[in-house]
Amino acid sequence: MDIIVRGINDELARHAEEIKSLHTGLECKVGVETMWKVVGLVVALGGIISGIISTVINYFARK
């Protein structure tokens, strides 16, 4: 049982290192400022689309 637990811990440690490596690589390619700009753009577009859908629903609900 102890061998299985050690194997699992070793696998988790290896995966954690791979995730850290990928995160560092992604952070270098896409800066934090750029990521916030993308998030802001997505939120703005979502607001516009929800406004259009709401207007269309209200228009057809009146009829």
- 16-62 pLDDT per residue, tens: 888 888 777 766 666 777 778 888 999 999 999 999 999 889 888 88
- Closest Cα to residue 25, out of 17, 33, 37? 17
- Closest Cα to residue 38, out of 26, 50, 54? 26
pTM above 0.75, yes or no: no
Of residues 1 and 49, the one with the higher pLDDT is 49
3-state secondary structure the chain: CHHHHHHHHHHHHHHHHHHHHHHHHHHHHCCHHHHHHHHHHHHHHHHHHHHHHHHHHHHHHHC
